[in-house]
Chains A and B, each alone.
Chain A
Amino acid sequence: MNKHLLSMHDLTAEDVTRVLDTAASFREVGSRVIKKVPALRGRTVVNFFMENSTRTRISFELAAKRLSADVINFSAGGSSVSKGESLKDTALTLQAMGADAIVIRHSSSGSPLQLTRWVEGHVLNAGDGTHEHPTQGLLDLYTMREKLGRLEGLRVAIVGDVMHSRVARSLSFGLVKMGAEVTLVGPPTLIPPEAPEWGVHVGYDIDAVVPKLDVCYILRVQKERQRQEYFPSVREYARLFGLTRERAALLPEGSLVMHPGPMNRGIEIDSDVADLPTSVIEEQVTNGIAIRMALLYLLLGGSGEGEVA
């Protein structure tokens, strides 16, 4: 494994398998009465969140605590520049705190990579701008593999605003790496024209895609994209690209509905669909903790050999 996890491109297919296997063993820890192992005792993990995120921050915090690491939450509204401090100054501050790992969430693409130039510890990307969100991608791969038994050959559609989605990038890169067949679906204005170079298919007709899927992965729609002229209205978006109850009925038996959360019920996904048994949205959240434990453990602690829990 690389020293840092900045992008899904940092991992080989073997690395991904190792992360998922390690997560599987940590998944069991979460079901114990005492949900804690001593693997990272004495190590310090800084959650450096320059963009609001309750879910991902809590998930990383729980993951680090279940590994017995010391956790510091360093949150700031707005950019470092707005405080008159450069990203480098902030990085050096974190370094001075003795961080063994820095988990960074930032609204600016590339800031985790920039951070690696200035700190000695491991850097984990918890979502940077419209670039990547590799831990989300890995927990999604974990969930698919657990539910469907494999990744290779899976037919997955990622539906929505791919252009501005870091989740879509990490998940697409991860699925392609693991041999799945990915189709991006959404308004053409929100699919990057270069997406075919990622090794994925592109389609604009969700009804044509849904009946052939193993996984229908729905992205959150940002309402401000309407003002930016990407689509005419939320209503029309829901009509053309939303996973309605009627569309969900076309999904093959045994296929999954996934969403990275938080959901806009009634827009990209019908409320009824989100609550169907095929929907594994809550399991994604639970698996997220195990994936983040696995990553912290593999990057900081372990050789990856022997007993992890």
Chain B
Amino acid sequence: MRGRFVFKGARVVDPTAGTDEVRDVWVDQGRIAAGPVEAAETIRAEGLVLAPGLVDLHAHLRQPGFEHKETIETGTRAAAVGGYTAVAAMANTDPVTDHAAIVHEVRDLAAAYGLCDVFPVGAITKGLAGESLAEMGEMVEAGVRMFSDDGNPVPTARLLRNALTYAKAFSAEVVLADHAEDGPLVAGGQMHEGAVASSLGLAGRPAEAEEIAVARDLAIARMTGGRLHLCHLSSARAVELVRRAKADGIRVTAEVTPHHLVFTHEDLVTYDTNLKMHPPVRTHEDREALRAGLADGTIDAVATDHAPHAVEEKEAEFDLSPPGTIGLETALAAVLTELVHPGILPLGRALEAMASAPARILGAGDHGGPIEVGRAANLVLVDLDREWTVEPPFTSKARNSAFTGRRLRGRVLATMLRGELTVANGKATR
């Protein structure tokens, strides 16, 4: 039994429709209703922003196989708390999501918890081994629309060519997402290669490794006409390559993470393992280029690369600690604090990059707006000005947040998934 609600006096920011206006939004039977709806529960939304529920193109939910880091339950609850109604779950589980059975298992588990829709990402290669193609057709039939070996770059141009070409067989549109870093050039690398790494005695991952891989991927995308998505861009030159590729008509989309938009390699001088990630956070110039690329649409989406790890795994030596930071609970607040409030990014563009653009890339038709009558009621209600400090415990099972200790401005108060509140008063309802 889904509830009846009215968001009273909300500032409705709808990036798909391109509107920003104060009005009431009615919900009935899991959908946006024309209203008024009888016996509707009122949610006071004066002074608050109502937007399409956020969509994450890039989360590691860790189940099956790494339940000590995160589970689908804790991960989707963290997503809901962060304002998400849909997340793409990366394939590097154990067993790997390289066949339909795992796709069904992951999606069904998520559906049972009912906290956030999960779109399993299929592996491009069997076992993520980078050798032979996974049975993509079977996974497409199971509903998969995005494939990625994320964590591992697709190792050769030939394999990427074959995957992008093979993907044309399907009537459904499929996108291949690559973690673009040249493997041998980053082997052993712990952080961005540069002055900070060399004085800290940490082996570097040069920006050129991303530039090389992005250039290769774009050439193959042009050659095959396939749809390419570039995960977590981190360098200025990669942004420029994507900008030119889009101008040339290559079918490419790209994402950036909140941490790459906020941090630089200078922040690693304390050897904080929560700031260790692949690709690494880089220079001030790189960060500025990522911000500009997001603002002008070269970078389509903000994606979290939510990468939970157990406490003991992160409280290890820097070179032995696994890369990644959690991000679902802080992404919107980080983007608001660092980009929207300072006037670098308009609110509408931020919400487009966090909801409608990723929904379009993922083929998640029920998500990302528009907020209009008859559409699924997937919504987020945000207090743009509520300040809070990022600190454990998190809703996620993990606590490896790069943002730990930071003061953020902007907080999700409610999240609605198909007419049900998954988050109310800033807390998960289940």
Binding site for B on A (CB under 8 A): 79-81, 86-89, 106, 108-111, 113-114, 128-132, 163, 166, 169, 192-195, 197-198
Query: Considering only CB atoms, which chain A residue lies closest to B202 in the complex?
Result: A109
A110 near B198: Cβ-Cβ < 8 Å: no
Contact of B317 among A108, A132, A166, A195 (CB under 8 A): A108
Q: Do B195 and A114 touch (CB < 8 A)?
A: no
Q: How far is the CB of B409 from chain A (nearest CB, A)?
A: 28
Shortest C-beta distance, A123 to chain B (Å), equals 13
B202 near A110 with CB under 8 A, answer yes
Q: Does B316 contact A (CB under 8 A)?
A: yes
Asked whether B318 lies within 8 Å of A114 as measured between CB atoms, the reply is yes
Choice from B201, B270, B312 contacting A109 with Cβ under 8 Å: B201
Q: Which residues of chain B (222-270) have a CB below 8 Å from chain A?
A: 270
- The answer, yes or no, to whether B64 is at the interface (CB within 8 Å) is no
CB-CB nearest in chain B for A169: B201
User: Which of B200, B317, B320: most chain A CB closer than 10 A?
Assistant: B317
Q: Are B317 and A81 in contact (CB under 8 A)?
A: yes
Bound-state Cα–Cα, A131 to B271, Å:
11
Name the B residues within 8 Å of A195 (CB-CB).
198
A132 contacts across to B, CB distance below 8 A? 201
A132-B201, A197-B195 given as contacts; is B317 within 8 A of A113 (CB)? no
B199 within 8 A of partner (CB)? yes
Chain B residues with CB under 8 A of A166: 201
User: B405: shortest Cβ distance to chain A, in Å?
Assistant: 13
The reply to whether B201 and A131 contact each other, CB–CB distance below 8 Å, is: yes
What residues on B are CB-neighbors of A106 within 8 Å? 317
Residue of B nearest to A163 (CB): B198
Q: How far is the CA of A193 from the CA of B49 in the complex (A)?
A: 49
Q: Which of A80, A169, A194 contacts B194 (CB 8 A)?
A: A194
Q: How far is the CA of A194 from the CA of B311 in the complex (A)?
A: 34
Picked from B194, B201, B271, B313, the residue with its CB within 8 Å of the CB of A114 is B271
Given contacts A109-B202, A131-B201, A169-B201, contact A80 B316 (CB under 8 A): yes
On chain B, the residues within 8 Å of A81 by CB distance are 316-317, 320
Q: How far is the CA of A163 from the CA of B313 in the complex (A)?
A: 28
Bound CA span A195–B320, Å: 26
CB distance from B285 to the nearest CB of A (A): 15
5 contacts between A and B (CB under 8 A): A79-B316, A81-B320, A109-B271, A110-B200, A194-B198
Residues in chain A near residue B201, CB distance under 8 A: 109-110, 128-132, 166, 169
* Residue B319 interfacial (CB < 8 Å): yes
Instruction: Output the residue of B203, B313, B316, B319 with the most chain A CB within 10 A.
Output: B316
Residue contact B319 to A129, C-beta cutoff 8 Å:
yes
Shortest Cβ-Cβ A-B pairs, 8 listed: A131-B201, A110-B271, A108-B317, A109-B201, A192-B198, A130-B201, A194-B195, A88-B315
B319 closest partner in A (C-beta):
A108
Q: Report B310-330 residues with CB < 8 Å from chain A CB.
A: 311-313, 315-320
Given contacts A111-B317, A132-B201, A166-B201, whether A86 and B312 have CB atoms under 8 Å apart is: yes
- In contact, A86 and B316 (Cβ under 8 angstroms): yes
Given A79-B320, A113-B270, A194-B194, is A131 in contact with B315 using a C-beta cutoff of 8 Å?
Answer: no
Are B315 and A87 within 8 A (Cβ)?
A: yes
Knowing that A87-B317, A114-B271 touch, tell me 19 more A-B residue pairs with CB under 8 angstroms: A86-B316, A87-B316, A88-B315, A89-B315, A106-B317, A109-B201, A110-B317, A111-B271, A114-B317, A128-B201, A129-B201, A130-B201, A130-B203, A131-B201, A131-B202, A163-B198, A169-B201, A193-B198, A198-B199
Question: For residue A86, which residues in chain B have a CB less than 8 angstroms away from its CB?
Answer: 311-313, 315-316
B198 neighbours in A (Cβ, 8 Å): 163, 192-195
Complex formed: what's the CA distance from A89 to B195 in Å? 31
Q: Is the CB of B317 within 8 A of A80?
A: yes
- Whether the pair B315, A113 counts as a contact (CB closer than 8 A) is no
CB neighbours of B312 from chain A (8 A): 86, 88-89
* Distance in Å: Cβ of B87 to nearest Cβ of chain A: 29
Residues of B within 8 A of A192 (CB): 198
- A195 and B202 CA atoms in complex are apart in Å by 14
Contacts of B202 in A (CB 8 A): 109-110, 129-131
Is A109 a contact partner of B319 (Cβ separation < 8 A)?
A: yes
Complex contacts, B317 vs chain A, CB 8 Å:
79-81, 87, 106, 108, 110-111, 114
Bitwise interface map of B from 288 to 325 toward A, beta carbon under 8 Å scored 1, else 0? 00000000000000000000000111011111100000
Asked if A169 and B319 make an inter-chain contact with CB atoms under 8 angstroms apart, the answer reads no
Closest CB of chain A to B293's CB: distance in Å? 26
Residue numbers in B under 8 Å from A130 (CB-CB)? 201-203
What CA separation (Å) do A169 and B201 show in the bound complex? 9
Query: Which residues of chain A have C-beta atoms less than 8 A from B200's C-beta?
Result: 109-110, 131
Q: How far is A52 from B213 in the complex, measured between Cα atoms in Å?
A: 39
CB distance from B200 to the nearest CB of A (A): 6
Q: Is the CB of A109 within 8 A of B318?
A: yes
Contacts of B194 on A, CB cut-off 8 Å? 194
Q: Which residue of chain A is the closest to B312 with respect to CB atoms?
A: A86
B residues less than 8 Å from A111 (CB atoms): 271, 317-318
CA distance A198 to B199 in the complex (A): 8
* With known contacts A108-B320, A110-B271, A114-B271, A169–B199 Cβ distance under 8 A: yes
With contacts A113-B270, A132-B201 taken as known, whether A108 is within 8 angstroms of B318 at the C-beta atoms is: yes
**Contact residues, B388-429 vs A (CB, 8 A):** none
Which of A89, A114, A197, A198 is the most central at the interface, judged by chain B CB atoms within 10 Å of its CB? Answer: A114
Q: Smallest distance from the beta carbon of B39 to chain A beta carbons, Å?
A: 54
Q: Which residues of B contact A88 (CB under 8 A)?
A: 312, 315-316
B199-223 to A contact mask, C-beta < 8 Å, 1/0: 1111100000000000000000000
A257 vs B317: C-alpha distance in the bound complex, in angstroms?
Answer: 35
**Which residue of chain B has the shortest Cβ distance to A130 in the bound complex?**
B201
Instruction: Give bound CA distance, A113 to B273, whole Å.
Output: 12
Residues of A within 8 A of B320 (CB): 79, 81, 108
User: Roughly how many angstroms separate A66 CA and B232 CA in the complex, as a whole number?
Assistant: 55
Asked if B195 and A110 sit within 8 Å, CB to CB, the answer is: no
**Cα(A90)–Cα(B176), bound, Å:** 43
- Nearest chain A residue, comparing its CB with the CB of B194: A194
The chain A residue sitting closest to B318, CB to CB, is A110
Max chain B C-beta neighbours (<10 A), residue from A88, A110, A197: A110
Which residues of chain B come closer than 8 Å to A163, judged between CB atoms? Answer: 198
Complex CA–CA separation, A111 to B201 (angstroms) = 11
A13 to B202: give the CA distance in the assembly, Å: 26
Q: Which A residues touch B270, using CB under 8 A? A: 113
Shortest CB–CB separation between residue B146 and chain A, in angstroms?
33
| Chain A hits for B199, CB < 8 A | 169, 194, 198
Residue on B nearest A128 in the bound complex, by CB? B201
Please give the distance in Å from B314's CB to the nearest CB on chain A. 8
